[in-house]
Amino acid sequence: MLYCCIVVLLQVSGLLGPAARLEKKGPQVADQEVGQGGTTQWRMCGVDYDSTVALFFEITATADKGSEATAQVRACPGSH
Asked, for residue 9, whether it belongs to a domain, the answer is yes
- Whether 71 is in a domain gets the answer no
Amino acid at 58: E
pLDDT of residue 13: 93
Gap between the Cα atoms of 22 and 24, Å rounded: 6
Is the residue at 74 inside a domain?
Answer: no
In-domain check, residue 79 = no
Domain that residue 54 falls in: 2-61
CATH of the domain at 36: 2.60.40.1670
Rounded to the nearest angstrom, the gap between the alpha carbon of residue 52 and the centroid of all alpha carbons in its chain is: 14
pLDDT-derived band at 78 (thresholds 50, 70, 90) equals low
DSSP letters of 3-63?
EEEE-TTEEEEEEESSEEE----STTB-SS--SB-S-SEEEE-S--TT---EEEEEE-TTP
**Residue 36 located in a structural domain:** yes
pTM flag (> 0.85): no
pLDDT at 55 over 80: yes
Give the pLDDT score at 63.
60
What's the pLDDT tens digit per position in 15-45?
A: 999 999 999 888 889 999 999 999 999 998 8
Over range 8-14, report the average pLDDT. Answer: 87
Q: Looking at the domain assignment, is residue 6 inside a domain?
A: yes
Q: What is the pLDDT of residue 47?
A: 81
> How many folded domains does the chain comprise?
1
Say if residue 1's pLDDT is above 90: no
Specify if 27 maps to a domain.
yes
